[in-house]
């Protein structure tokens, strides 16, 4: 799939709301692409435009060189499958029912499943590891399990392109990681082109082959996650006054305002790191500078933090106590 000079957005009663202009994108077989961007930047609109559920404003979306507009709905359903954020209205459907709807574009007017269809449904369920839940009703499943079922539905549709709108929203950490790993695996092993929109920056950076970054100026930055970090695109899109992007870890950090500095000494690297993080939160920066008036020492023998501040001396057995003491002092 590729786009040429694609503009996206939606038509309002008065005029047009443009969310992105002049996108020239490529979505290749066997690659796992994550679309990132702040809230309201038009991720969902792009996802739906590429799925054919929304009209393009300008330019075109091409599949195997053919304009998406010229492909009828039934044909399109064989080329693109989607997983949406829509709540599934009928919770009484069984897992098998939902996945068998993926065969919709291939079955006859009655929707009769052939042996081949059944085999594909079974295979799709096995790929997402939900084959043991085949006869369970949707309403008895957890959010993570439901998401797997919807992915199996998309797989059963046997399209080269699979597009997912925020597949990890509402999931807990373990499920988020598992879904991302699953999608990455499916892209690589099943030779499909998988595109997701997501807010999971760190997970996307660790699993996606390519990132699409929606920018505030209605442009889009494309590249491997690592390249986007090296050329500063990541920081441009997401860094705000309250957030710092750490180029070494590829993580975003909350920016804390420093109000005071204190000398700190410890031979233990871990103690040093986590003490520093704990005090950062209340605006105290720990530095290795003996000339400072106030100082903190960690004694590994006693396991105590000893502080010298404004002439007073105190010891603490935990960081929580230390932080509490400093907060009190400030008031």
Partner 1 sequence: MLKRGRIFILLAILLLLLFMADIALGSVSISLSNVWELLLHGRDGSALSYIIWDIRLPKAIAAVMVGSGLSISGLLLQSLFRNPLAGPSVLGISSGASLGVATYVMAGGMGVISYGLLSAGGLALFSIAGSLLVLMAVMAVSVKVNDTVSLLIVGIMFGSITGSLVSVLQYFSTADLVQHFIIWTFGSLGAMTWNELALVAAVVLSSSLATLFLMKPLNALLLSDQYAESMGVSVKRTRHWIIIISSLIAGVITAFAGPIVFVGVAVPHLTRNLFRTVDHRILVPAVLLVGSILMLICDIISEMPGSSIGLPINSVTALFGAPVVIWIILQNRRKNLG
- Residues lying near partner 1 in the complex (CB under 8 A) are found at 51-53, 72-77, 80-82, 84, 86-90, 92-93, 97-98, 101-102, 104-105, 107, 109-111, 139, 157
Structure letter (DSSP) for residue 137: B
Task: Label residue 314 exposed, middle or buried (CB < 10 Å: 0-12, 13-18, 19+).
Answer: middle
CB-wise, 86 or 313, nearer to partner 1?
86
| 3-class SS of residue 326 | helix
Nearest approach, Cβ of 120 to partner 1 (angstroms)?
A: 15
Closest CA to 139 of 192, 81, 197, 98: 98
Give the nearest distance from C-beta 210 to partner 1 in angstroms. 23
How near is the Cβ of 146 to partner 1 at its closest, in Å?
Answer: 12
Contact 51/68 with Cβ under 8 angstroms? no
Residue number with CB closer to partner 1 (59 or 105) = 105
Choice between 72 and 291, CB closer to partner 1:
72
110 or 269: CB nearest partner 1: 110
Nearest to partner 1 of 164, 262 (CB atom): 164
CA angle 47, 98, 199 (to 5 degrees): 30
Which lies closer to partner 1 via its Cβ, residue 22 or residue 107?
A: 107
Cβ atoms 191, 17 nearer than 8 A: no
DSSP 132: G
Q: How many Å is the maximal CA-CA distance in the chain?
A: 86
Minimum CB distance to partner 1 smaller for 158 or for 207: 158
Q: How far is the CB of 114 from partner 1 (least distance, A)?
A: 15
Shortest Å distance, C-beta 188 to partner 1: 24
* Minimum CB distance to partner 1, residue 88 (Å): 6
Residue 70: how many CB atoms within 10 A of its CB?
11
Instruction: Give the integer Cα–Cα distance in Å for 114 and 126.
Output: 19
Q: 82-115 burial string, b = 16+ CB within 10 Å, else e?
A: bbbeeeeeeeebbbbbbbbebbebbeeeeeebee
- Nearest approach in angstroms of CB 153 to partner 1 is 8
- Which residue lies nearer to partner 1 by CB, 159 or 168? 159
Task: Give me the least distance between CB of 39 and partner 1, in Å please.
Answer: 20
* Beta-sheet pairing, 251-254 with 243-246: antiparallel
Contact criterion met (CB below 8 Å) for 200 and 168: yes
Three-state DSSP class for 221?
strand
């Amino acid at each position: 799939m590729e786009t040429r000079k694609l503009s996206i957005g939606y038509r309002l009663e008065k005029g047009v709301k443009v969310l992105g202009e002049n996108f020239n994108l490529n979505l290749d077989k066997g690659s796992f692409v994550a679309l990132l961007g702040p809230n309201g930047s038009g991720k969902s609109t792009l996802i739906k435009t590429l799925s054919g559920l929304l009209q393009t404003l300008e330019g075109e979306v091409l599949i195997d060189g053919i304009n998406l507009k010229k492909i009828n709905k039934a044909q399109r359903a064989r080329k693109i499958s989607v997983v949406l954020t829509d709540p599934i209205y009928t919770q009484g459907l069984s897992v098998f029912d939902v996945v068998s709807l993926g065969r919709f574009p291939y079955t006859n007017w009655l929707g009769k499943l052939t042996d081949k269809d059944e085999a594909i449904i079974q295979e799709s369920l096995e790929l997402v590891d939900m084959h043991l839940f085949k006869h369970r009703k949707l309403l008895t499943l957890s959010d993570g399990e439901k998401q797997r079922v919807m992915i199996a539905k998309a797989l059963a549709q046997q399209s080269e392109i699979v597009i997912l709108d925020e597949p990890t929203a509402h999931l807990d950490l373990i499920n988020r990681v598992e879904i991302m790993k699953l999608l990455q695996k499916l892209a690589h092993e099943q030779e499909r082109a998988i595109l997701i929109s997501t807010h999971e920056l760190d997970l996307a950076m660790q699993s996606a082959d390519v990132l699409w970054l929606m920018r505030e100026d209605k442009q889009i930055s494309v590249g491997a996650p690592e390249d986007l970090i090296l050329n500063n695109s990541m920081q441009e899109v997401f860094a705000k006054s309250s957030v710092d992007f750490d180029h070494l870890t590829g993580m975003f950090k909350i920016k804390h305002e420093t109000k005071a500095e204190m000398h700190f000494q410890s031979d233990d690297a871990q103690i040093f790191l986590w003490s520093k993080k704990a005090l950062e939160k209340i605006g105290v920066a720990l530095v290795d500078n003996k000339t400072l008036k106030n100082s903190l020492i960690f004694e590994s023998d006693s396991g105590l933090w000893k502080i010298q501040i404004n002439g007073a001396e105190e010891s603490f057995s935990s960081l929580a106590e230390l932080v509490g003491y400093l907060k009190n002092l400030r008031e």
